[in-house]
Each structure stands twice: as structure tokens, then as C-alpha cells.
Structure 1
Amino acid sequence: MNTPLSDIQKQRLKILEPKLEVAIKNQDIQAAKALVLDLQVLLRPTNHFVRLSQSKNKLFELSIELGDYDFAINGLNSNREVLNKNTRIYLETTSLMAICYVRMQEIIKAKPYIKEVLTNKSVIKSDRTRKIFHKEIINRFNEEVALCTLKSSDDVSYNEDEIEQEVIRIIQTLTEQEIFAQIGQASPRATKELMFLVYDYSTKQLPSAERLALPSPTQKIKDTEVGQTVFESVKRVIYNSLCNPESDIYKTWFNNGMKIVLSKGYIRSAVISCLVNLGVGIKMIAASIIALIMKLGIEIYCERYKPISLMEIRDK
């Protein structure tokens, strides 16, 4: 049983929680860890474990993004031990465990968590909301497969002039759907095989009517579908570079228009930098992603592809 928050606690939370949001957005892991520690000192004595776990999960999701998997697993396990299994926060924590193991390509270890998430009927009472959550989380698993299988063990670099020529060709000759198909064609066989495996296992956990309403595993690994999944998978990194109001690209676009952004090659350089950091080194995929964003424009891209965390998946 938790104790009601004091006025002092409430004032401290009004300071610490927004600061954590900023640290997460800026991917400042050290600042995020320090802030969560402050929140723990504040919330643990009064047993506000749910609110504390919500903040911790944001930190652990960031640590997964940054590749610190051991830290994430240890922390998520700790959260699972103190949370009620019939709560949304427990479900989200378990989802992050599955995502972490998928990102590590430890699919055998991921499966029990995937199953627990998708077979739980007691947490989300509304059938409609539960179906939306299932669809979103299965898509997220697919995106994690794309990220981990596209990552190269070698140092990644791009020739920006070659990329620029390819981008021009794509924009001039291909439709949006054809670009997605091209990304799928350029994706390794290992990406499609693991995507099939994880998607097939995930959908088999659902009731038959719900499963039949989703694309089949065979449909999910068609080139266009794979291309869309790959494009979605990198948005968590690219979005912050392009759509953060404090970024140079966003400020230039907002103040001077898209023409200046394109002429300076801002989008190309930002996307290449993000892909290099992710370890994605396939030229055709890089050029196709850049071309798609340029065809859409920053405003539409930022509106349509804003990433959401697991804690934000709700009825729409």
C-alpha cells in the first residue's frame, strides 16, 4: 500500500520527471540514470512502485536503443519482481524484455516474454484496445528484427556523392510503394527469415479471428512489407535528428523552407549519420530512406512517422 504523496514530493516530481523526458529525448543516458536514481530516492519510501517503474522503463528502453542490454535486462527483471502481473505497466515491462532479447537476436529467450505479452487477457479489458496493442507490439517486434539483422559487424561508411546520385535517380523514377519494395529487395535474406520466424510465432499466440485479421507471415516478408518495416525501424533514431525543434535541420526548414534544407544536403547527411551509428551499411537502403523522406518533406515525415514508446500505445 502506498502513502499519499506529500506536497514536497509533488513539487520535486514536477521538476524531475520533465527533466527525465528531456534526457531521454536527447539520449543522455548518464543524466537519465541520475534522474531515475533521484526519483527512486523520492518514490520508494512511500511505495510508489508503479510511478517509479514508469520512469525506469523509459530509461531501460533508452538503454536498449543504445545497446546496453545487460543494464536493461537487470532493471526490467527488477521491475517485474515488484509489479502486479495484472497491470499495464507489468505488460509493458515484459514487452521491453522481449524487445531486448529480439534486439540481441536471442529469439529463444525472447519467446516466453512474447507469449506472456500476447496471451494476457486480463490487463487490457477492451477487445478493441487489446487488438490495437497486439498489432502495434507485433509490428515493433518486426522492427527490432530489422534493426538487429541489418546491423553490420564491420565499420560502416558511405560515399555521400554516390548516395546523392542514387537518391536523385530514385526520386525521379520510383513511386513511394516502389521505393519500399526496393528497400525490401536490398534487405538481407537473414532479415526476412528472422522476421518470418518472430512474426509467425507472435501471431500464433493470438486467437484465430484476431490472427486472421492480420497479414500472414508470408505476406509480411514480401518486399514492400519488409521495406515499410525497415523504414519504420529506423525512425526512432532519424526522427530526433530531423524533427526535434532544437535540431539545425528543423530550424533551417522552419525559418528558410525546404529548398534550403535540400540544397545544403542536410537530410542526406543526417540520415547517413544515423545509419552509420546504427551499423546499417547497405547503400540502396540508405539512398531509399533518404529519397522517401525528401519526397514526403520534413513536415509530413515528422507528423506521420513520430515514434511512440510502448507506454504510449493506446486506443485510437
Structure 2
Amino acid sequence: MIQKLDKVQKERIKRLEPALKQAAKRGDLQTAKSIIVDLQSIYLPKGHDAKLMMAKNRLFESAMEAGKLDFAERGLIGVRQRVNNRTRVYLEASSLLAICYLRQSDLVKAEPIIQEVLSNDQVIKSQPKREEFRKQIITRFDQEGALFAIKENFAQKLDPKEIQDEAGILIASSKSEEDLFEDIGKEVPEHAINILLRIDEFSKNLLPSAERLKLPPPKQAIQTKQVGKTIFSSVKRVLYKSLCDKESDIYQAWYKQGMGAILNKYSIGIAVSEAFINLGIGVKALAVPVIALIMKFGIEIYCDQYAPTDIMGMR
């Protein structure tokens, strides 16, 4: 039986849930675990299982961002087992589980979950909202699939100074943003493009025809420039923490001293090289135009335009 929360409990939740959201965004698994323990002590005795499971989705999202995919997979399967399959919490857990499988490069496991997510007409009652959710989640599936398709088993470490200097040369050559997206797309291997097409085609074919026709056709997803945009958007989840977290060294340096200080210390080159290594990507020709785009946008615009969205934030 669900019991009402008292004023003190509500105040604690008001502090804890935003902190959990931020921990998930940063991939701060230890903080997320600690917050879940506190929330559990509030929600469980009062019978608020659904709210606890919603919070646990955040926990397992933070686990994915921290690279703890096995932990996230087990947890998300557990959430799906505990909540009604006609609830938003179930839909979100399923979406996260599909992403988890994509990050494991396991399309065989991902596709049935993607099908379940995109075939669900019951949870989001409003058709416009349902269509918007599906549009956004397909974009996310594309990004995750493409990014993890270019992973390498033995990615070589990139030289931050070298790649940032080469990015500076690209900018000096007066290349436009569209040219730089094209440069990224050209370096994506054929097998990764095929995976991107497979995911996009599979996802869109699950939609009703009227809804499908409102979205770009799958062939458009694998045009060189669009592939570049997909890859650039997909790395933002890792880069955003380094470049845009207001507590990060790079953001603080930019805020206090301007872009010049960051460039002189090769901070963007360092951030991108570390992000690529964490992702298992050692392709210099991919890293250089990514850095060039960030330099061209500037930290403020990049952080504003490329802030990663989370599944629960799509409500």
C-alpha cells in the first residue's frame, strides 16, 4: 500500500533526485549508488516502488556512462521485471537496455528491445508526444550504434598536441562546419556505416507508415555528411563531461581566462584524445575534425548546442 510522504521526506527527495540526475550525467556511479541508498530508505517503507525504479534507471544510466555495462544490463533487466510493462518507467528501462546492448556491439540482443520500445503505443498516449519520443530515441540508437561500431580492440593513443595543431590547420584553411562534418564522415569505416544503416532501417520500419514518412529515409542516414554529424553528436556524451562540466578544469580555465588559455595548454586535444581512448577509438583522422569543430564553435556554443539529452529527460 502506498503511503504519503511527509514534509521532511519530500524535502530530502527534492535534494536527492537532482543530485542523482547530475551523477548519472557525469557517470559518477559511486555518488549515484549512495543517493539510491538514501532514496530507497524513503521510498520502500512507503510503498513507492515505481519512484524507486525510476531512480534506479538513473543509477544504471550512470553505470553505462561509467562503462560498467554488465552492472547496467543486470540492473535494467531487473527494473523491467519489477514494473508494469505499460508504464513509462518500463519504456525508459527498455530504451536504456537497448542502448546498453548497442554499446556492447550486440545487435542480436538490442533489436528485440528496440522493437519493443518502438512498437509500444500504450505508454505515451499523446500521438505527437509519442512520435517525438520515437524520433529522438531512433536518433539516439543511431548514434550509439555508429559510435560503438567504430571501436577498435587495440586503439592507439593519440597525441593531443599533434591532433590539436592539425585541427588548427583545418580551421586556417577556411573549412566550413559542413566541410568538417564531411571530413568526419569520410573516415568512418564501411562496416560502421552498414551497422548505422541496419539500425536506422530496422528502427524506422517498425513505425506506422504515416509516422515513418515524416522521418528522413534510412539512406539519408548514411550520407557522408550525415554520418559525420551522427558521430560528432555521439561523442558528446563523453566529451561533455570534460569540456562542459562547470567544475572541470577546462571549463574553469575557459571561463576565467578565455579560449586562448585552453588552446595554449592543448586542453581540447587532451580531452578529445582521452575520450577517444576511453571509447576505443584511435583514428587520428576522426579526432582532428572533431577538435576543429569544437574550436570553431567555441566552448560556450558547443556546450549549449551539444548538451546530451537523457532518456528520462525526454518526458
Instruction: State TM-score, norm by structure 2.
Output: 0.94
Question: Corresponding residue for 2:128?
Answer: 128
How far has the Cα of 1:164 moved from its partner?
2.9
Q: 1:164 to 1:267 in 2, by over 3 A?
A: closer
Q: Which amino acid aligns with 2:137?
A: I
Gaps of at least 5 residues in structure 1 are none
> 1:207 is matched by which residue type in structure 2?
P
With over 3 angstroms needed to count, the CA separation of the structure-2 counterparts of 1:21 and 1:130, relative to structure 1, is: closer
Query: Does 2:251 align with 1:250?
Result: yes
Flag as ranges the 4+ runs of structure 1 deviating above 4 A: none
Q: For the residues of structure 2 that align with 1:244 and 1:68, how far apart are their CA atoms? A: 21
Separation (CA, whole Å) in 2 of partners of 1:39 and 1:280: 37
Counterpart AA for 1:227: G
Task: Write the distance in 1 (CA, Å) between the matches of 2:22 and 2:216.
Answer: 37
Question: In the TM superposition, what is the alpha-carbon distance from 1:191 to its structure 2 partner?
Answer: 1.0
1:226 aligns with 2:213: no
SS state of the match for residue 227, structure 2? helix
- Within the alignment, does 1:301 sit opposite 2:293 as a pair? no
Query: Which structure 2 residues correspond to residues 61-72 of structure 1 after superposition, within 5 A?
Result: 61-72=61-72
Alpha-carbon separation, structure 2, partners of 1:67 and 1:179: 29
**Distance in 1 between residues matched to 2:3 and 2:186, nearest whole Å:** 56
Q: Residue 272 of structure 2 contacts residue 291 of structure 2 at CA under 8 Å; is this kept in 1? A: yes
| Residue in 1 that maps onto 2:150 | 150
In the TM superposition, what is the alpha-carbon distance from 1:145 to its structure 2 partner? 0.9
- Offset, 1:22: 4.2
Match of 2:95 in 1: 95
Query: Matches of 1:250 and 1:66 in 2, distance apart?
Result: 21
Report the AA paired with residue 229 of structure 1: T
CA distance, structure 2, for counterparts of residue 237 and residue 93 of structure 1? 21
User: Alpha carbons of 1:255 and 1:294: their partners in 2 closer, same or farther (altered >3 Å)?
Assistant: same
Name the residue aligned to 1:45.
45
How many Å apart are 1:299 and its aligned residue?
Answer: 0.8
Q: Which residue in the other structure is 1:292 paired with? A: 293
Structure 2 Cα separation of the partners of residues 64 and 156 of structure 1: 23
Q: Report the counterpart of residue 276 of structure 2 in structure 1.
A: 275
Most deviating of 285-294 and 64-73: 64-73
The yes-or-no answer on 1:27 pairing with 2:15 is: no
Higher mean C-alpha deviation, range 8-17 or range 26-35: 8-17
Output the amino acid matched with 1:77.
I
Q: For 1:213, give the aligned amino acid.
A: K
State how many pairs are aligned. 314
The one-letter amino acid paired with 2:258 is G
Q: 1:67 to 1:248 in 2, by over 3 A?
A: closer
Q: Measure how far apart 1:297 and its partner are.
A: 0.6
Q: Structure 2: how far apart are the matches of 1:131 and 1:26?
A: 28
Distance 1:192 1:310, change over 3 A: same
What TM-score do the two structures reach when normalised by structure 1? 0.94
Deviation string 1:254-288 (CA, Å, 9 cap, x unpaired) is 12222222233222221212212221111011111
Look up the match of 2:7.
7
Letter in 2 for 1:75: G
